[in-house]
């Protein structure tokens, strides 16, 4: 994928059917992001809340209520040090988002941008 410094690109959106949620963590975005991301957006279009984990389901990190949107901007308020790259944050390629909750009706949509 060609990257340009003055434009953005998207990773393919993951869609998870919340009717298959259980009380244990499971992958919500398949085998993970296909590329590094600078912004993460999760839209919970279902009628159930979902607990999110970013470390393989060991630790609960966030909760996304039903009918809500979660946006994580990894580039907001960062420092730019061109010589070292320090201060620039990215969600890593292959990152799997785990989730658990009660089975619901509707989908969870996970989008990433770079």
Instruction: Read off the DSSP letter of residue 46.
Output: S
For position 89, what pLDDT does the model report?
77
For position 113, what pLDDT does the model report?
92
What is the reported pTM?
0.85
> Could you tell me which residues come within 8 angstroms of residue 21 by beta carbon, excluding any fewer than 6 positions away?
48, 50, 99, 100, 101, 102, 103, 104
For position 90, what pLDDT does the model report?
83
For position 87, what pLDDT does the model report?
64
For position 85, what pLDDT does the model report?
54
Cβ-contact 15, 107 below 8 angstroms = yes
Ranges of the chain whose pLDDT falls below 70: 1-6, 77-87
For position 84, what pLDDT does the model report?
55
Domains, in order of start, for the chain: 14-73+90-113 (2.60.120)
At residue 32's C-alpha, the angle toward residues 57 and 102, to 5°, is: 45
């Amino acid at each position: 994928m060609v990257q340009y410094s003055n434009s953005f690109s998207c990773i393919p959106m993951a869609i998870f059917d919340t009717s298959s949620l259980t009380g244990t963590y499971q992958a919500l975005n398949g085998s993970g992001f296909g590329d590094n991301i600078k912004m993460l957006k999760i839209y919970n279009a279902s009628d159930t809340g979902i607990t999110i984990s970013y470390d393989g389901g060991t630790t609960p990190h966030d909760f996304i209520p039903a009918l809500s949107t979660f946006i994580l901007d990894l580039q907001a308020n960062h420092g730019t040090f061109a010589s070292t790259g320090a201060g620039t944050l990215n969600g890593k390629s292959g990152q799997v988002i785990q989730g658990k909750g009660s089975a619901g009706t509707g989908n969870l949509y996970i989008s990433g941008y770079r």
